[in-house]
Amino acid sequence: MARQLRLREFITPATGNCMVMATVQALSDIDLSSAELTLSAETDSLKRGIKYTGQLSHSKRTAIVHDHNWGGCEMLCVAANFLLCKIYVIAKGGCNSCYG
């Protein structure tokens, strides 16, 4: 069934980069020959997000992000809308979600 749904398991690092991993996986399913501008824009967006996330203090981050995961569902929704595809996240010990 996982093959029919094109689902693949990826182990994400415990460094808080799971959102980046999910976005990269969604990008890998795009026809790369027709998506050069999309890839460039997505790369720039990820770099900006990482840069500004690193500048946030923890108290400001907890005031902005409503759940316990870095990036949160809001950021994954933005990524799904940008990529025009669904991003599925199966959280270990948490809720399962689809963004997009």
| Token output for 4 | 């029919």
Taking only Cα atoms into account, the Rg of the chain, rounded to an integer number of angstroms, comes to 14
pLDDT at 47: 72
Q: Which two tokens stand for residue 7?
A: 């689902």
pLDDT single digits (tens) 4-22: 766 666 666 666 666 676 6
The pTM of this model reads 0.30
User: Residue 97's pLDDT is what?
Assistant: 55
Find all residues with CB under 8 Å of 14, minimum gap 6, and list them: none
Residue ranges per structural domain of the chain: 40-99
Higher-pLDDT residue of 3, 95: 3
3-state secondary structure of 97: strand
Residue position matching structure tokens 């809308």: 81
Give me 37's structure tokens: 């501008």
Label residue 83 by pLDDT band (50, 70, 90): confident
Write out the two tokens for 13: 């690092």
The mean predicted confidence, pLDDT, of the chain is 66
